[in-house]
Amino acid sequence: MNINLALLLLVIAMSAFNKQSDNKEPVKEIITGADQTQLYVPYLKGKRVAIMANPTTIIGKKHLVDSLKNLGINIVKVFGPEHGFRGNASAGVKIKDETDAATGIRIISLYGPKNKPTKQDMADVDILLYDLQDVGVRFYTNINALSRLMEACAESDKEMLILDRPNPNGYLIDGPVLDMKYKSGIGMFPIPMSHGLTVAEFAQMANGEGWLTNKVKCRLKIIKVANYDHNMPYTLPVKPSPNLNTQQAILLYPSTCMFEGVYINHGRGTQFPFTVLGSPELKGKYAFSFTPVSIKGMAETPIFMNQVCYGLDLRNYDTEKLRKSGKINIQWIMELYKAHPHKEKFFESKFSNQMNNIEIQIGNGIFRKQIIDGVSEAEIRKSWEPGLSQYKEMRKKYLLYP
């Protein structure tokens, strides 16, 4: 073959390859339910609308409540969750009813004297719109608030419209399924620590599995996320709560939130919560240190306040390792227990100034003993079965996305 013919064949081959490449579909952008206004704004016209909202409730970069009001939607009230409608309250701080200064709309707190709308609250409402960003873990309280709103709608024969959003930990289905003996405000349903659902999928599950009080069922209308599947990485445009203030914190949260049940500071009282772990009593065991302080709106009385803590710095931990493994990390709690000089204190909430004990946080009664006895990770994971596998199978019935 002469050189000119060879070059000609090469050009033809490259042209064919480029044409093939050009035919590849471009990756489509994820579009949240809220951003697809054409699918629900006409449906809301002429209705009296209540909205469950917080700072993650946005269309583009603007708050959904402000946008819908400008579009002529009749918003009669807003329900506010933990941290409040505008998101400026610390974790666990009770919130009072108020009037929103920006819109003049009445805000009814569901994180104060009551946690569920009354029939009177629902009397002048035609439809309740739910749009809160979730992070896909059992102990994040938004799904508990969602279930109570579903009950209120069902009891008043009102419809709920869910504007769905991606789950940034949607790929992750792991941890023990909650033993209902340990049901609490941070665990109300028999789901694993990381449940792998969007809020709309969870709502369908709560309806379908009969989890709502008296097994009532809520009428749902769902605006799905466009161009989304559970394995897609998703960076949140707004922090979902004061202490989940970075994408790193959100991705580590399924693994590091368990430290709320032990004698370790997990970054509360710093600007990097859920990404550092430590205690003053680990001095000499670790070089990395940080000092928790009181921070208004984030953590006002953190454990070990104003004390230098030594431990693990996970701010630059490669979260792709979690994605590839498909597992929460329990090695960190095993390591810090082993390193701690006062093991009798490690799991005792009376020492730790933490919100919950480890049984409430993990959702079973054997994890504490497993760590104390030095049980292997493989054996701990084995004890989560068959519940975890059964949950995964049940979950398939309610999925809206691949």
In angstroms, the CA 309 to CA 305 distance is 9
Asked if 349 and 261 touch (Cβ cutoff 8 Å), the reply is yes
First-to-final CA distance of the chain = 50
Q: Where are the alpha helices (DSSP H) in 169-319?
A: 199-208, 247-256
Could you tell me the domains of the chain?
37-223 (3.40.50.12170), 247-365 (no CATH)
What does the pLDDT read at residue 43? 98
What one-character-per-residue DSSP string does 26-37 give?
Answer: PPPPPB-TTT-G
Question: How many whole angstroms separate alpha carbon 50 and alpha carbon 76?
Answer: 6
pLDDT value of residue 97: 81
Evaluate whether 302 touches 312 at the Cβ level (below 8 Å): no
pLDDT at 20: 46
Provide the pLDDT for residue 351: 64
Q: Are 223 and 64 in contact (CB under 8 A)?
A: no
Distance CA 394, CA 386 (A): 12
* pLDDT, tens digit, 9 for 90 and up, residues 84-130: 676 555 555 666 788 887 788 999 988 878 999 999 999 999 999 99
Q: Compute the CA torsion angle 254, 260, 266, 270 (nearest 10 deg).
A: 110
Name the pTM for this structure: 0.90
- pLDDT beneath 50: ranges in the chain: 5-13, 16-17, 19-22
Q: Are 342 and 172 in contact (CB under 8 A)?
A: no
pLDDT tens-place string over residues 255-265: 999 999 999 99
